Chain A
Amino acid sequence: MTITFRRETFRDDYNFSNSAVGIRRFPFPFDRDHYMYAVNIEPHVKGHPGTIYESLIDVDEHYVAEMQDRALVLAEDPLRSQSLPHMELAGWDLLELLMEQLAAGYPAHFELRRSGKRWRWVNRPLGIDDTFVFGAASTLPYGPMEYITRQAQGDFCILDQRDGNLWMDAGMVTTQADWSLDFDLGMNFMEWHAPVPRAHEMGVFDRALKFMLNLGQGQPMRRFNWTMTVNPRLDTSPETYPKWGPDRRSVTADNVGDKVHLRVELQSFWRLPRSNAIVFPIRCYLIKLEELVTVPKWARRMHRVLRDLPPDLVDYKGLTRWRPIAVDYLAAFDDGAATSPGIWPD
Chain B
Amino acid sequence: MPETSIKSRPVYGTLAPQPGTRHILLADGDGAAAIVDLARAAPPEFFERAHIITAPAAGAMAVRAPLRALAPAVLDETDRLAAALSRLAEVLAGAGMGTRLYVAGTEGTIGQAMQVALDAGVELGAIATEHRGSRARRVQCAHCKTFIDEVTTQPVACSGCGLMLFVRDHYSRRLAAFQGVCVDAEEPGSAPTPEEVFT
Contacts from A to B (Cβ < 8 Å): 79, 180, 182-187, 190-195, 200, 238-242, 245-246, 248-249, 315, 321
Q: Judging by beta carbons under 8 Å apart, are A241 and B185 in contact?
A: yes
The one of B6, B145, B185 that contacts A245, using a Cβ cutoff of 8 Å: B185
Given A183-B170, A185-B174: A192 touches B187 (CB 8 Å cut-off): no
Q: Judging by beta carbons under 8 Å apart, are B186 and A192 in contact?
A: no
Q: Judging by beta carbons under 8 Å apart, are B185 and A193 in contact?
A: no
Q: Judging by beta carbons under 8 Å apart, are B142 and A183 in contact?
A: yes
What residues of A have a CB within 8 angstroms of the CB of B140 in the complex?
183
The complex places the Cα of A238 from the Cα of B175 at a distance, in Å, of 16
Query: B168 at the A/B interface (Cβ < 8 Å)?
Result: yes
Interface size class of B (residues with CB under 8 A): 20 to 34
Q: Judging by beta carbons under 8 Å apart, are B6 and A186 in contact?
A: no
Q: Judging by beta carbons under 8 Å apart, are A194 and B8 in contact?
A: yes
The one of B1, B6, B163, B172 that contacts A183, using a Cβ cutoff of 8 Å: B172
CB nearest neighbor in A for B173: A186
Q: Judging by beta carbons under 8 Å apart, are A242 and B7 in contact?
A: no
Query: B179 at the A/B interface (Cβ < 8 Å)?
Result: yes
The complex places the Cα of A3 from the Cα of B168 at a distance, in Å, of 44
The complex places the Cα of A187 from the Cα of B143 at a distance, in Å, of 20
What residues of A have a CB within 8 angstroms of the CB of B1 in the complex?
315
The complex places the Cα of A321 from the Cα of B187 at a distance, in Å, of 11
Q: Judging by beta carbons under 8 Å apart, are B179 and A242 in contact?
A: no
- Tell me which of B1, B145, B163, B170 has the highest count of chain A C-beta atoms within 10 A of its own C-beta: B170
Q: Judging by beta carbons under 8 Å apart, are A241 and B181 in contact?
A: yes
CB nearest neighbor in A for B163: A242
Q: Judging by beta carbons under 8 Å apart, are A180 and B179 in contact?
A: yes
What residues of B have a CB within 8 angstroms of the CB of A200 in the complex?
7
Query: B45 at the A/B interface (Cβ < 8 Å)?
Result: no
Q: Judging by beta carbons under 8 Å apart, are A241 and B172 in contact?
A: no
CB nearest neighbor in A for B169: A194
What residues of B have a CB within 8 angstroms of the CB of A187 in the complex?
8, 172-174
What residues of A have a CB within 8 angstroms of the CB of B173 in the complex?
186-187
The one of B3, B8, B9, B145 that contacts A192, using a Cβ cutoff of 8 Å: B8
* Interface of chain B residues 5 through 59 with chain A (CB within 8 A): 6-9
What residues of B have a CB within 8 angstroms of the CB of A321 in the complex?
186
CB nearest neighbor in A for B178: A183
The complex places the Cα of A180 from the Cα of B145 at a distance, in Å, of 12
Q: Judging by beta carbons under 8 Å apart, are A241 and B7 in contact?
A: no
CB distance from A38 to the nearest CB of B (A): 19
- The binding surface of chain B is classed by DSSP as loop
Given A194-B8, A195-B3: A241 touches B182 (CB 8 Å cut-off): yes
Q: Judging by beta carbons under 8 Å apart, are A246 and B187 in contact?
A: yes
Given A183-B140, A239-B142, A315-B1: A194 touches B170 (CB 8 Å cut-off): yes
Given A183-B172, A195-B168: A238 touches B181 (CB 8 Å cut-off): yes
Query: B96 at the A/B interface (Cβ < 8 Å)?
Result: no
10 shortest interchain CB distances as A-B pairs: A245-B185, A194-B8, A186-B174, A194-B6, A191-B8, A194-B7, A238-B142, A245-B186, A242-B185, A190-B7
CB nearest neighbor in B for A248: B186
What residues of B have a CB within 8 angstroms of the CB of A195 in the complex?
3, 6, 8, 168, 170
CB nearest neighbor in B for A205: B7
What residues of A have a CB within 8 angstroms of the CB of B175 in the complex?
183
What residues of B have a CB within 8 angstroms of the CB of A193 in the complex?
7
Query: B94 at the A/B interface (Cβ < 8 Å)?
Result: no
A interface footprint on B165-194 (CB within 8 Å = 1, 0 otherwise): 000111011110001011001111000000
The complex places the Cα of A236 from the Cα of B32 at a distance, in Å, of 44
The complex places the Cα of A95 from the Cα of B165 at a distance, in Å, of 38
CB distance from A325 to the nearest CB of B (A): 15
What residues of A have a CB within 8 angstroms of the CB of B8 in the complex?
187, 190-192, 194-195
CB distance from A100 to the nearest CB of B (A): 32
The complex places the Cα of A245 from the Cα of B191 at a distance, in Å, of 14
What residues of B have a CB within 8 angstroms of the CB of A238 in the complex?
142-143, 179, 181
What residues of A have a CB within 8 angstroms of the CB of B174 in the complex?
185-187
